[in-house]
Structure 1
């Protein structure tokens, strides 16, 4: 689904990412690679396949959209280095002609990152500022971190919780790209726009939830 923000057209993708075609930039947040390994370390059997699937989804997006840049809005990796991090390093080598930039999040605590991955606390690309947390800016701020989700209620007592994108006047939040992350229910204000993700589609829920 295409939306216009600050005069720019952004494509909201059901894979929980944004493609800014004018800048040939793919934007995503909160992969939390290594989270499964973190759970396994503490005796909880979670399959490594979860993160391999996330990487495969990202790979398919890159092959379909051919971005020149990939912008990761924080929490790329969940904790300390493990085998899932090595999988991502191999992924970077495959796409070595693409500029990857990580906007640091609270989980990005590795002491060293590969040369193929630029790391910065925030990034400005007129008319947007990109950060992990919501930040004040003279530009329109886009962030991640909270893994936004929205509850849609039907007739009877039926309801469904969807990951979502939401955009207010000066700030937008994108859903967590990682499948093993969960969602946090948001409370959109009256003038916010909300786009849910369900069954491989992006759905405009703005009128439904207000």
Structure 2
């Protein structure tokens, strides 16, 4: 499992095609918008959507933990999608995953969905913080426009980039990197995306089929 190594705020970080960012010096994995229980929340409203998104999210985390030396995961908000995400089946799956990773530190920077859903169960042993959460040169946030002292790493937007060729177009998740902030793609399954229009000076890195590549902005 490989990624793209770049420098941000004087630190070496790795952009991962699995829609996460790795900060090797801190052994930290940064994830935005995992939205546990989103499918369950839709089903609670009577909307027929596929099951298994929580399991898919947890398996994706497991794959990253196996591939990289990680001691700390920072979730950039929207850990739970809604109050219905506290469903017994969702919590049971998450607790089973936590039991396999008891030494792993978890920190959640509260996002807008977290304020509505409520904090996750204390049994999951997730440290709760408000934005900005400052570590070294970085300010970990949910909202990209949060006033912060450091270089902002944020989510919320679920950025995707539209690639077009003639009549064909394709929307792909991406990282959006600017001078003072970076917006991470949504990590969670079944979360959708928002097409971004990069500003001058911003860089876009698109994710496709376990690969990551830069887009030349004209």
* TM-score w.r.t. length of structure 2: 0.91
Structure 2 match to 1:36: 39
* Mapped pair 1:110 → 2:118: yes
Residues 151 and 111 (structure 1 numbering): CA distance in 2 closer, same or farther, change over 3 Å?
closer
Residue from 17, 23, 32 that aligns with 1:14: 17
Shift of 1:42: 1.6
Shift of 1:98: 0.8
Structure 2 match to 1:204: 214
| 2:122 counterpart SS class | coil
Residue from 170, 174, 179 that aligns with 1:164: 174
Unaligned runs of 5+ in 2: none
Shift of 1:113: 3.2
Q: How many residues are paired up?
A: 207
Shift of 1:37: 0.6
Residue from 98, 102, 111 that aligns with 1:96: 102
Residues 146 and 126 (structure 1 numbering): CA distance in 2 closer, same or farther, change over 3 Å?
same
* Mapped pair 1:120 → 2:140: no
| 2:112 counterpart SS class | coil
Greater mean alpha carbon deviation, residues 73-82 or residues 87-96: 87-96
* TM-score w.r.t. length of structure 1: 0.94
Structure 2 match to 1:175: 185
Shift of 1:49: 1.2
Contact 1:71 1:103 in 2 (8 A): yes
